[in-house]
Amino acid sequence: MNLVECSYRFRFYPTAQQAELLNRTFGCVRVVYNRARALRKAAWTEHKERSGFLQTNAMLTALKKDPAFAWLKEVSSVPLQQCLRHLEAAYQRFFLKRARYPQFRRKDSRQSAEFTKSGFTYRNGTLTLAKMTEPLAVIWSRALPGEPSTVTVIRELDGRWYIACRVVASIEPLSGGSTVGIDLGLTSLAVLSTGEKIANPRHLSKHQKRLTREQRRLARKQKSSRNRTKAKLKLARAHAAVRHARQDFLHKLSRRLISENQVIAVETLSIGGMLRAKRHSRAIADASWGELLRQLTYKATWYGRTLVQVDRFYPSTKTCSACGTTGHALTLADRAWVCPHCGAHHDRDHNAAQNILAAGLAVTACGGDVSPGVPRHPGQSSMKQELTP
């Protein structure tokens, strides 16, 4: 059994009093976060001093003593403390060059507030937050495997309310299965080494007409009017429909690949670099390769599977999977080609998936630090082979 920390998300329907308290909590969290971020920025730019959680926590204590900020005491202090910890974590990710510089929180964006165990009560399947007298009307679509350690309340832009409960769950590792290589693309979202082609659902393209219509209606509304608020809500719900459909499809696909295969080989992609290419950026963002790889990564860890990432500069497309010769001259229009050395007929994507699987198995046999990629030459593009003009 593997003990993993995971999050279960449920929808809930707050009463008018609960919604009013949570909205005030979101506002207090936003104010404390933005003032702490401004404090840290000013301390460095003006005095070249580093500020951390201790300094921002002292700032929060001083704010609560200020009569002008007495409304901070009307909500639970737990989410205010947690937002300072989130700011500290955001700065640490920035220093490690894993994220951009922390930005201010906006009022018209997605709102959230995190409660630790001291800020909520979970008993007999009911959840009651601090400062509330009644439990939340949560739709428990499945039972929690244990008592949550933290509960995050979320209000999406489309007006829906959710809670995310972080718990420690016991997951039984999967056994058996085969090996597979995956070549990601746009014509087909994924082509497996077995020859199966998974069609690209193109969720954004299917809803583009609705999104365009709602965006135009929003642009015609007068600012700060009720009609503009209603139009903004309709647009947010249209975007949510795309997001939910994409997430549902990717979760089902990643779960299926993990269940059927013991070893999964994928290529390492520079998705950020590819998104800078205007020609394919929208299609790449709609395909969500990065989200698919993220789901495969943590699900492989949960269920005891092996996920191997092959170097992005490995010439999987221009290598013959039958004889191993490489360097064949191919253009983007060549979806099928014949090897001039052995005469083998190849489908472009299927051949790449087979080469990715062979390279992944070589990495598995030689060790986790071995990469079958070729050296990168100066000026070599970080774009995917299939997308390079």
3-state secondary structure 196-240: CEEECCCHHHHCHHHHHHHHHHHHHCCCCCHHHHHHHHHHHHHHH
What percentage of the chain reaches a pLDDT higher than 70?
94
Percent of the chain that is helix, strand, coil (3-state, to 5): 45, 20, 35
Each residue's pLDDT tens digit, 108-151: 899 999 999 999 999 988 999 999 999 999 999 999 998 999 99
The span from the CA of 187 to the CA of 51, in Å, is: 49
Establish whether 334 is a catalytic residue: no
Minimal CA–CA distance to 165: which of 111, 118, 105, 117?
Answer: 117
Q: What is the pTM of this model?
A: 0.86
**Most confident listed range (192-196, 330-334, 363-367):** 192-196
pLDDT of residue 279: 80
**pLDDT beyond 50 at 304:** yes
- Of residues 245 and 278, more confidently modeled: 245
What are the residue boundaries of the structural domains of the chain, listed by start?
A: 2-171, 178-200+252-366
The structure tokens listed for 38 are 């401004």
Instruction: Using the CB atoms, write b or e for 63-85: b if 16+ within 10 Å.
Output: beeeeebeebeebbbbbbbbbbe
Establish whether 347 is a catalytic residue: no
How much is the average pLDDT of 268-285? 87
Number of residues assigned to the chain: 389
Q: Which of 114, 267, 286, 386 is catalytic?
A: 267
pLDDT band of 370, cuts 50, 70, 90: very low
pLDDT band of 378, cuts 50, 70, 90: very low
- Lowest mean pLDDT: which of 76-85, 280-289, 306-315, 320-329? 320-329
Is the Cβ–Cβ distance between 119 and 81 less than 8 Å? Answer: no
Instruction: Using the CB atoms, write b or e for 263-299: b if 16+ within 10 Å.
Output: bbbbbebebeebeeeeebeeebebbbbeebbebbeeb
Rg over alpha carbons for the chain, rounded to the nearest Å, is 25
Q: Which of 88, 114, 158, 183 is catalytic?
A: 183
Is the Cβ–Cβ distance between 195 and 350 less than 8 Å? Answer: yes
Each residue's pLDDT tens digit, 123-135: 988 999 999 999 9
- Of residues 384 and 216, more confidently modeled: 216
Task: Specify the pairing of strand 345-347 against strand 178-184.
Answer: unpaired
The span from the CA of 222 to the CA of 340, in Å, is: 65
pLDDT of residue 308: 93
Q: ∠ CA(339), CA(271), CA(358), 5° rounding? A: 35
pLDDT of residue 377: 38
pLDDT of residue 314: 85
Task: Specify the pairing of strand 306-310 against strand 261-267.
Answer: parallel
pLDDT of residue 374: 42
Angstrom distances, CA of residue 380 to CA of 11, 52, 313, 325: 47, 40, 9, 21
Q: Which residue do the tokens 């082509």 mark?
A: 191
Each residue's pLDDT tens digit, 6-42: 999 999 999 999 999 999 999 999 999 999 999 999 9
How much is the average pLDDT of 273-278? 84
For 85, the 3-state DSSP assignment is helix
How much is the average pLDDT of 349-358? 91
DSSP symbols for 291-323: HHHHHHHHHHHHTT-EEEEE-TTS--TTB-TTT
How much is the average pLDDT of 168-181? 92
Establish whether 183 is a catalytic residue: yes
pLDDT of residue 385: 52
How much is the average pLDDT of 76-93? 96
pLDDT of residue 5: 92
Is the Cβ–Cβ distance between 202 and 300 less than 8 Å? Answer: no
User: What is the average pLDDT value for the chain, to the nearest integer?
Assistant: 90
Q: Which residue do the tokens 């080469």 mark?
A: 355
Q: Which of 114, 214, 349, 386 is catalytic?
A: 349
- Lowest mean pLDDT: which of 183-192, 267-276, 292-301, 352-361? 267-276
pLDDT band of 272, cuts 50, 70, 90: confident
